[in-house]
Amino acid sequence: MNTHQIDYRIIGEEMQCVEIELDPLETVIAEAGSLMMMDGSIQMQTVFGDGSKGDQSFMGKMFSAGKRVLTGESLFMTAYTNNGTSKDHVTFAAPYPGKVIALDIAELGGKVICQKDAFLCAAQGTSIGIEFQKRIGVGLFGGEGFIMQKIEGDGMAFVHAGGTIIERELQSGELLKVDTGCIVAFTKDIQYDIEFVGGIKNTLFGGEGMFFGALRGPGKVWIQSLPFSRLADRIISSAPKMGGKRKGEGSILGGLGGLLDGDNH
């Protein structure tokens, strides 16, 4: 194997984290800002890109890091190495409520494609890059845009997503239609395209957007029940408006509604 072999356990239910167990000199890479805690023998080092190719030239590292910017991530990642003489642990937390998904990249064909901000951490030697969607319809209307993340290697990687995660195994030719924001990840043989919802009433009043994500097997797909964009929209719509009033305070209940939900100021 080219990547380090790491052990792990996923902790929690609704706001999960992943604890990585490192043998001496083993390393795990993670997105900047995802660290929750680490044992005393763990040493952290900031690296350009994902650090998967240690013999790259400076310009090669800059190019690798620059590709990450296209997916909305930082130029840098952080490598955590166990410099002690016994097993130690480092723990990473997801940035919003949801689940952490453990992916054995070798068992999944060496490559998994995921939404832009899904990657959390992985064994050193894993490559985190960009995946261009070849179909122009996916790029324009796919919700995640023209560029997605790709995770390549032969070790363990961990991604996070919102709400509950459903894993589906699609047979050859089997079609699954999904809200574009709910797609978390899929294996390399899955064909990803966009389908128009169809019908004037569906388009104007359906409330589900104009396009579905069309995933066709064979392969595995992971679907989330609560995309972060949907969660953010709900939070924004419920936030205080001009004058300090919240959504719904102009209803029939008026001030009584505020008392019922605990807002008595």
CATH of the domain at 100: 3.60.160.10
Q: How confident is the model at residue 128 (pLDDT cuts 50, 70, 90)?
A: confident
Tell me, yes or no, whether 265 lies in a domain.
no
Q: How far is CA 40 from the centre of its chain?
A: 28
Residue 231 sits in which domain range? 7-239
Secondary structure of residue 59 in the 3-state scheme: helix
The span from the CA of 197 to the CA of 195, in Å, is: 6
Cβ within 8 Å of residue 138, ≥6 positions away: 146, 192, 193, 194
pLDDT exceeds cutoff 80 at 223: yes
Beta strands at 42-48 and 76-82: parallel, antiparallel or unpaired: antiparallel
Number of domains, the chain = 1
Tell me, yes or no, whether 64 lies in a domain.
yes
Tell me, yes or no, whether 51 lies in a domain.
yes
Tell me, yes or no, whether 62 lies in a domain.
yes
Tell me, yes or no, whether 55 lies in a domain.
yes
Rounded mean pLDDT, 243-252: 52
The span from the CA of 182 to the CA of 161, in Å, is: 9
Tell me, yes or no, whether 264 lies in a domain.
no
Can you give the length of the chain in residues?
265
pLDDT of 148 reads 83
Tell me, yes or no, whether 178 lies in a domain.
yes
Q: How many CB atoms lie within 10 A of CB 10?
A: 14
pLDDT exceeds cutoff 60 at 95: yes
Tell me, yes or no, whether 1 lies in a domain.
no
